[in-house]
Chains A and B, each alone.
Chain A
Amino acid sequence: DIRMTQSPSSLSASVGDRVTITCRTSQDIRNDLAWYQQEPGKAPKRLMYAASSLQSGVPSRFSGSGSGTEFTLTISSLQPEDFATYFCLQHNNYPHTFGQGTKLEIK
């Protein structure tokens, strides 16, 4: 299985801050990585696909980068609705595997 190392596991930040979340994979997955936002009791929402493509309808303050084994999700200016949990997913190889999640909290 491809191991996913997502960091940090939690992050305190303020509205307007720029934050970056990192996902590292144990082997090259090209750009077969997606980022999701998860709120309690709601369906996960895809933010980025193919590592750096913005999902339609997602604000442009979200961006993704990387390929191979290292990937980042950046939120350029945090808004109140962005405080949630974020996770990455690799779909290059079965079984698909996930990062452990990053809980973004208000400072």
Chain B
Amino acid sequence: QVQLQESGPGLVKPSETLSLSCTVSGGSISSYYWSWIRQPPGKGLEWIGYIYYNGLSNYNPSLKSRVTISLDTSRNQISLRLTSVTAADTAVYYCARRSSGGTSYSHWGQGTLVTVSS
């Protein structure tokens, strides 16, 4: 049973960098697309971007200048880095997996709340 678990600081100061990890257990990160998705309190979900196991990535244009998603295959982890954060980046951050071939997200983590505040 594949499980995804997000982790990282719950509080980040404005203008600093948000860094989160997603650890995958019960399966390999090979041959899948790994995405980050977020949900601000009381608002809808926003797709941040993905990385494929071969390193190919794609980001939401609204965040592209500030986002980096990377893989650490030795640790079975996917990382998210978001620079120059503001209060608008306060959200629950989810990682999610989907297979190749144009499918939807079959597995999600339970999410981690990140608050941007001084």
Contact B94 A91, beta carbon cutoff 8 Å: no
- CA A97 to CA B104, docked complex, whole Å: 11
Closest B residue to A46 by beta carbon equals B106
Task: Check A43/B4 contact, CB under 8 A, given A91-B98, A94-B58, A99-B44.
Answer: yes
Chain A at the B interface: mostly helix, strand, loop or mixed?
A: loop
CB distance from B72 to the nearest CB of A (A): 21
A80 interface residue per 8 A CB criterion: no
Nearest residue in A to B98 (C-beta to C-beta)? A91
- In chain B, residues 54-94, which have Cβ atoms closer than 8 Å to a Cβ of chain A? 58, 60-62, 94
* Interface set, chain A 81-107, CB cutoff 8 A to B: 87, 89, 91, 94-101
Tell me whether B45 is interfacial, beta carbon within 8 Å.
yes
- CB of B47 within 8 A of CB of A49, answer no
| With contact pairs A91-B98, A98-B47, A101-B44 given, residues A46 and B111 touching in the complex (Cβ less than 8 Å) | no
Chain A residues with CB under 8 A of B45:
87, 89, 98, 101
Closest to B106 in A: A46
Chain B CB within 8 A of A41 CB:
yes
Contact A34 B105 (CB under 8 A): yes
Please name 21 pairs of A and B residues whose Cβ atoms are closer than 8 Å in the assembled complex, sorted by A.
A32-B104, A34-B104, A43-B4, A44-B105, A45-B108, A49-B106, A50-B104, A87-B45, A89-B45, A89-B105, A91-B102, A91-B103, A91-B104, A94-B47, A94-B58, A94-B60, A95-B47, A95-B61, A97-B47, A99-B44, A101-B45
